[in-house]
Structure 1
Amino acid sequence: MSKQRPTLKDIAQSLGVSATTVHRALQGKEGVSALMSEEIRRRAMEMGYRTNYMASSLKRKAQKLAIAFPEPTLDNRYYYMSLWRGVRKFFREVSEFHVEPMEFYYPLAPGSNGAILREIYEHYAGEIAGLITIATDHPQSSYFLEKLAAKGIPITLVGADLYSEQRLCCVKAYDEMAGSLAAELLTAFQPKDLSARVLVTGNPVGSFAMLDQYYNMTGFESYLRAHAPGVTLQTTYHSDVHVSEQQLRTLLTQDPEVLAIYSTSARHTVMMSLLVEELGLQGKVRLIGSDLFPESLEALESGTLTAIVDKKVPLQSYRAAQYLFDHVIKGAYPPSGTIFIPPSVLLHSNGSADASQAFLR
């Protein structure tokens, strides 16, 4: 006959403490000293104790976890659909647990993230056990994240590492590395005294600025200064992708010295790919795009894009959901306050099979 699995009571008796103390220590709850918690976890491991998280979760009411991301419409869909894809994938995988995801959409406009956080705070703060959202540098966002955190609601952020006092953790791309990789790709086979013009497009500045794109651009510029100082770098930054398109169109039709274009954003990647195809410049101008999604994969397969720097957007939101779930259901903490997802490079020469596999992860 197999040995009976140890219980919380068995662990408590072996240490001379209450079962409640053991439960609190194993769940990471307050009220037990760090020294005692460590001793309890060590003894539980020695005795072969394993928490049945599924059974325990079914005994309590459904844990509601809120997800607040921009709605994936129009050209917002390239990036934000990837965010939704990752978080939905995770919740499908844990559907057997007593967890209920609550999705909140909002338009991509100044203050809209703060407005949805206000709605969540005023109408759902008493229901939810956790929150996943993007990090937006806006006073109203900061205010309501602080209010939600004060109610003991753990928060995981995606994208930019802000509000360290309010959030459980932030999952983000290694943005400067992504920019450096893009610059290295553009200059790898060129002489160091290269004097061509390189264009950068995206939205790292202004009222709609994306902090991830700012650090991405910083990595790109730093690499070029160090390894290709003869390159002339010209930017076509704007929150309105159509304004950036007109700037690019003018430069491409008037300047034959343009060697390459790098886009720090998904929507600008689509725009520059379509523009280069329209102007018949495929193969004449190198294009490095950001993020992997159906439209960028198609441009890579056709040869319009030379490469994609994939920041693994679905994996970012997947991990953010995973760390929040583990904290709420298992009492576990993330390995760090900031979790970096390293980018990868997809080349046209890799073949579409490799790119497709990366897209499905």
Structure 2
Amino acid sequence: MNQPSTPIRSDAGTVAGGTIERVRLEAGGIAVELLTVGAAINRVVVDGRDIVLAHPNATDYADSMYGLGLTIGRFANRIGGGRFTLDGVEHRLPTNEGDNTLHGGPDGFARRLWDVTDLAPGTVEFTLTSPDGDQGFPGAVTVRVRYTLTADELRMDYTATSTAPTPVNLTNHAYLNPAGEASGSADELLLTVHAAHLVEVDETLIPTGRLPEVGAHDLRGARRVADAAPLDTCFVVDGEPGALRPHATLAASDLAVDVFSDQPGVQVFTADGMSGVPGLSGPYGPRAGVALETQNFPDAPNHPGFPDSILRPGHPLTTSTAWRFRRLG
């Protein structure tokens, strides 16, 4: 049966902020399980195969070291020096990666319990309100992420509004492995990224402001993950931002996941340092999966030449990402 079924809600554990809920969506041969902690993607099962890295317990997501499946905000990726100037006012943020602020700070959106605000066959919406001054960011922000599952696609639609100008950059931090999360290293998977340029960074992974050609990191033709790694790189995706277009593909021999988005970039992270991370089938090691994080460019508030990352009152942010599942052979 290809039609989406009615979502199933259940309790999944307790953390300091309250009870975690699990929401299960099903359509065709695909099942997706989502959690209210971090509005996380917990499981994606295609034809009986788990294809995202997953912690064994929902409570593990509250302090996931590698951010498995979590929704990232208020600002995904890095803000250099933990500061930015907006409309002539400097704002200082708590730092959590050396001198930089990573993924919204030490208590970003990924650490919060979100509310379930809408349910319908094949879809669920999670909502979070971030108060003015949260992690040093100005303005009260309300964020919604709607997951919609069909027989061959999982779509993520994000919206955000703010009471004051503020940087916003939203993404999901899932690690994909189409061969199966229990298959070991993703080294033999084929990775394609539709980008002729990338965001150049310094030794602390903060952009220099230059967007050079990809050079040795050219992934427009499929390459083995082992040959492309290590990567913690933001690619400038070809085509016009604002239009849903191909960003990347990760493929096993019998299943490919095509990532589409309207965002200007995709951060490709091969997690070469991953070790001993609690996983559904046992601890995950280096390159157990690949994160394809569709997003604006890192440190965008500090680079006037980068795509605008400032959310202003009366001008809601809307952005979408879709994972399309393609059976091969």
Larger radius of gyration: 1
Would you call these one fold, judging by a TM-score over 0.5? no
TM-score for the superposition, normalised by structure 1: 0.28
